[in-house]
C-alpha cells in the first residue's frame, strides 16, 4: 500500500470516525444524566439531515442547518416529555426497549414524511469534484467541515460541562442523582436538557456529514450502531473515550476496505463491538461513575 | 420552624415510619436517636422529599412541603446531608461546593457565593488544600466535611444531618461534632440523626428517641441523658448499675 493510500484511508477514517464520536458523545450525554442508552440517537442525525435538505430548497444553507438543529432539538424534548418522563419504574431493559421502539417510530415517520429516496445536502464549499491535495491524497473540502464542526462541538461541550453552572449541574446529576436533587437541582429539567443537547449535536453532525454519506430515512440505524460501539469502546460515559473510540473505529473501518470487500465494513465494527464486550466490557477509559452506577444502592 | 405530624412512610409494602410527629424551633439543635433500622434515615429522607409520605403533614416555615420534590424543598432552605456522604465523586471539591450553592446562582449571588466558599475553607481548612482534587479521592472524614460544607453553601435555614459520624475514626467524629456545635453559634438550626446517642445528646438541646418507626420519647437532652431506659438502650450503661 502506497503512502498516499495510507493518508487517504486515514483521512477517510477520521472523517467518519469524528461523526461516530459525536454520536457516541450524544449517547454519553443522555446516559450520564439518566442511565438510559438512547438507541434513537442515530435518528437525530437522520432528522437533522432530512430537515435541512427539505429546508435548503427554500432558505440559504446556514439557515436551513440552524433550523434543522432547532427543530430536532425540539423533537428531542418532545420525545423525552412524552415517552420517557412518565415511566414510573425506569429499569434499564424497559428504557432500552422504549428507545428502540422510538427509533423505529421515527424511522417509519420519516419514511412517510419524505420517502425512501437517498438525498443529500449540497457541498458546503465547492462541489462533488472539488478536492484538496495533502501529501498526494485527495479529499473533499467537506471533510474539513466535518472535522471542524466535530472539533467545535467537542470544545463547546467541554466548555459547557466545565465552566457553566448548568453544565456542572448536569455532571452533578450524572455523579449522584439524589445528592444533586438535595442541592436543589431539578433532575427532570436536566434530563430534558440532556435530550435536547444530544438531539441538537446529533442534528448538526447529521447536516455536515450529509454531502459525503447521503441521507436516507433509515441511515440513523447504522450510525447509532457505530456510535454505540465507539461509546462502549471508549467506556460508557467518558467523552475522551468517545472521541478516541470514534476515531479508532473510523480508521479501522476505512483501513479494512483495503483488505476485505467493502460489503463487510459493518461486520468489522460489529466484530470490534463483540470483542470489546467480551474482553474489556468497561471500555478503554472506563469512567468511575458510569461503571459504579450498576452497584450503587 | 419544622413541624411534622403523624407521618407514615415506607418503601413498597413496607411501612417504616408509623405516625411520627416532631418539631424543631429556630436556633435549636434537635437530635433523633435510635438503633439500626428504627427509621431515622427514612424519616429525614421523607422530610427532604427523597421518599414521599403516605399520610401526615410536614410544615416548614409555615408552608406545607409534604408533597414537594426534594429540589423544591432545598430551595426553600431545608438541606439534608445524606447518610454516607454522597459527594459528587467525579467532581472537584470546589465544584462540589459550587453545586451546593446551585439555588443561589439563579438569584445572582455570585460574589457572595465566592466569599462563602472562603468561609467554608476557614471552617474546614483541609478542603482548601484539596480544592482541585476529585471528591472521590478524599478520605471518609474529609468527604463528610465536604458534604456538610456543600449543604451549608445553600445557606439553609435548617440543616439536617444524617449519621455524620458513621464509619469515621473517633478523632474525626470529635471534630465533626465540635463543628456542628460551632454551626449553632453561627445561628444555624440543626436536626441531627445519630446512632452515637451520647455524643448527639451532649451537643443537642432536645432529643427524640425513635424505635421501629415510632417516636417513643421526647425531652430535653438532660432529661434523656438521665432517663433510665435511654441509658440502658442507647448509652451502654449496664442494667444493674442503673438499678443500684
CB-CB contact of A146 with A22 (8 Å): no
Q: List chain B domain ranges.
A: 2-84+157-243
Highest-confidence segment of A17-21, A211-215, B34-38, B165-169 = A17-21
Domains belonging to chain A, first-starting first, are: 3-290 (1.10.3470)
pLDDT number for residue A50: 93
pLDDT number for residue A6: 85
Instruction: Name which of B75, B82, B150 is nearest A178 (Cβ-Cβ).
Output: B82
Contacts of B148 in chain A (CB under 8 A): none
Contacts of B69 in chain A (CB under 8 A): 181, 186
Judge: A182–B99 Cβ closer than 8 Å, yes or no: no
CB-CB contact of A158 with A26 (8 Å): no
How much is the average pLDDT of B201-205?
Answer: 90
Instruction: Say yes or no to pLDDT of B244 above 60.
Output: no
* B88-118 pLDDT, tens digit each: 998 999 999 999 999 998 888 888 899 999 9
Q: Which residues of B touch A (CB under 8 A)?
A: 48-50, 69-71, 74-75, 79-80, 82, 86-91, 95, 98-100, 102-103, 105, 136, 150-151, 154
Report residue A291's pLDDT band, with 50, 70 and 90 as the boundaries. Answer: very low
Instruction: Say yes or no to pLDDT of A293 above 80.
Output: no
Predicted complex ipTM exceeds 0.85? yes
Judge: A179–B91 Cβ closer than 8 Å, yes or no: no
pLDDT number for residue A297: 31
Of how many residues is chain A composed?
Answer: 297
CA B96 – CA B100 distance, rounded (Å): 6
pLDDT number for residue B242: 55
Instruction: Name which of A178, A180, A289 is nearest B90 (Cβ-Cβ).
Output: A289
Report residue B240's pLDDT band, with 50, 70 and 90 as the boundaries. Answer: low
- The overall average pLDDT reported for chain B is 88
CA A204 – CA B13 distance, rounded (Å): 48
pLDDT number for residue A127: 77
* B110-146 pLDDT, tens digit each: 888 999 999 999 989 999 999 899 999 999 889 999 9
Chain A and chain B share a number of CB contacts under 8 A equal to 79
Judge: B82–A179 Cβ closer than 8 Å, yes or no: yes
* A267-286 pLDDT, tens digit each: 888 888 888 888 887 777 65
Give the closest-approach CA distance of A181 to chain B in angstroms: 5
pLDDT number for residue A255: 87
How much is the average pLDDT of A207-225?
Answer: 89
- Which one is predicted more confidently, A295 or B208? B208
Interface test with A, best of B88, B97, B135 (most A CBs within 10 A): B88
How much is the average pLDDT of A85-98?
Answer: 83
Judge: A172–B80 Cβ closer than 8 Å, yes or no: no
Search chain B and give the residue with CA nearest A184.
Answer: B71
In three-state form (DSSP H/G/I as H, E/B as E, the rest C), the secondary structure along chain A is CCHHHHHHHHHHHHHHHHHHHHHHHHHHHHHHHHCCCCCCHHHHHHHHHHHHHHHCCCCCHHHHHHHHHHHHHHHHHHHHHHHHCCCCCCCHHHHHHHHHHHHHHHHHHHHHHCCCCCECCCCCCCCCCCCEEECCEEECHHHHHHHHHHHHHHHHHHHHHHHCHHHHHHHHHHHCHHHHHHCCCCHHHHHHHHHHHHHHHHHHHHHHHHHHHCECCCHHHHHHHHHHHHHHHHCCCCHHHHHHHHHHHHHHHHHHHHHCCHHHHHHHHHHHHHHHHHHCCCCCCCCHHHHHCCCCC
* A128-181 pLDDT, tens digit each: 777 888 777 788 888 889 999 999 999 999 899 999 999 999 999 988 889 999
A165/B contact by beta carbon, under 8 A: yes
* A179-203 pLDDT, tens digit each: 999 999 998 899 999 999 999 999 9
pLDDT number for residue A236: 83
Share of chain B above pLDDT 70, in %: 97
Q: What is the third-level CATH fold of B2-84+157-243?
A: Rossmann fold (3.40.50)
Judge: B89–A165 Cβ closer than 8 Å, yes or no: no
How much is the average pLDDT of A70-87?
Answer: 92
Report residue A262's pLDDT band, with 50, 70 and 90 as the boundaries. Answer: confident
Amino acid at each position: 500500500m502506497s503512502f498516499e493510500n495510507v493518508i487517504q484511508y486515514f483521512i477517510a477514517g477520521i472523517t467518519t470516525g469524528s461523526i461516530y464520536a459525536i454520536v457516541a458523545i450524544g449517547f454519553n450525554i443522555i446516559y450520564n444524566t439518566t442511565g438510559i442508552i438512547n438507541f434513537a440517537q442515530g435518528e437525530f442525525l437522520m432528522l437533522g439531515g432530512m430537515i435541512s435538505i427539505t429546508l435548503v430548497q427554500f432558505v440559504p444553507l446556514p439557515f436551513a442547518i440552524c433550523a434543522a438543529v432547532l427543530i430536532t432539538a425540539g423533537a428531542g424534548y418532545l420525545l423525552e416529555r412524552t415517552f420517557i418522563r412518565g415511566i414510573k419504574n425506569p429499569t434499564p431493559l424497559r428504557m432500552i426497549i422504549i428507545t428502540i421502539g422510538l427509533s423505529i417510530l421515527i424511522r417509519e415517520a420519516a419514511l412517510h414524511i419524505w420517502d425512501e429516496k437517498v438525498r443529500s445536502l449540497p457541498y458546503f464549499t465547492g462541489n462533488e469534484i472539488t478536492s484538496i491535495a495533502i501529501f498526494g491524497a485527495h479529499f473533499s473540502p467537506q471533510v474539513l467541515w466535518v472535522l471542524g464542526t466535530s472539533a467545535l462541538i467537542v470544545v463547546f461541550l467541554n466548555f459547557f460541562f466545565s465552566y457553566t453552572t448548568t453544565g456542572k449541574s448536569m455532571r452533578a446529576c450524572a455523579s449522584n442523582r439524589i445528592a444533586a436533587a438535595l442541592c436543589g437541582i431539578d433532575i427532570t429539567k436536566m434530563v430534558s436538557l440532556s435530550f435536547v443537547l444530544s438531539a441538537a449535536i446529533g442534528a448538526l453532525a447529521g447536516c455536515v456529514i450529509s454531502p459525503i454519506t447521503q441521507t436516507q430515512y433509515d441511515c440513523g440505524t447504522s450510525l447509532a450502531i457505530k456510535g454505540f460501539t465507539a461509546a462502549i469502546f471508549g467506556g460508557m460515559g467518558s467523552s475522551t473515550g468517545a472521541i478516541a473510540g470514534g476515531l479508532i473505529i473510523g480508521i479501522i473501518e476505512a483501513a479494512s476496505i483495503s483488505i476485505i470487500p467493502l460489503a463487510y465494513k459493518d461486520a468489522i465494527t460489529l466484530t470490534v463491538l463483540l470483542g470489546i464486550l467480551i474482553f474489556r466490557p468497561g471500555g478503554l477509559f472506563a469512567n468511575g461513575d458510569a461503571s459504579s452506577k450498576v452497584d450503587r444502592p | 420552624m419544622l413541624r411534622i405530624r403523624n407521618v407514615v412512610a415506607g418503601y413498597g409494602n413496607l411501612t417504616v415510619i408509623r405516625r411520627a410527629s416532631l418539631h424543631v424551633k429556630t436556633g435549636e439543635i434537635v437530635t433523633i436517636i435510635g438503633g439500626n433500622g428504627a427509621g431515622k434515615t427514612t424519616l429525614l429522607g421523607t422530610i427532604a422529599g427523597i421518599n414521599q409520605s403516605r399520610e401526615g403533614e410536614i410544615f416548614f416555615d409555615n408552608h406545607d412541603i409534604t408533597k414537594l420534590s426534594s429540589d423544591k424543598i432545598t430551595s426553600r432552605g431545608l438541606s439534608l446531608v445524606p447518610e454516607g456522604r454522597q459527594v459528587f465523586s467525579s467532581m472537584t471539591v470546589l465544584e462540589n461546593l459550587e453545586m451546593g450553592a446551585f439555588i443561589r446562582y439563579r438569584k445572582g449571588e455570585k460574589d457572595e457565593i465566592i466569599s462563602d466558599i472562603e468561609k467554608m475553607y476557614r471552617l474546614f481548612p483541609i478542603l482548601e488544600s484539596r480544592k482541585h482534587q476529585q471528591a472521590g479521592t478524599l478520605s471518609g472524614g474529609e468527604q463528610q466535611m465536604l458534604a456538610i460544607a456543600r449543604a451549608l453553601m445553600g445557606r439553609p435555614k435548617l440543616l439536617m444531618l444524617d449519621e455524620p459520624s458513621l464509619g469515621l475514626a473517633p478523632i474525626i467524629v470529635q471534630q465533626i461534632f465540635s463543628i456542628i456545635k460551632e454551626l449553632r453559634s453561627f445561628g444555624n438550626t440543626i436536626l441531627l440523626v445519630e446512632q452515637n446517642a451520647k455524643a448527639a445528646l451532649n451537643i443537642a438541646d432536645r432529643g427524640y428517641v425513635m424505635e421501629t418507626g415510632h417516636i417513643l420519647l421526647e425531652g430535653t437532652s438532660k432529661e434523656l441523658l438521665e432517663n433510665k431506659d435511654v441509658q440502658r438502650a442507647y448509652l451502654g450503661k449496664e442494667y444493674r448499675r442503673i438499678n443500684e
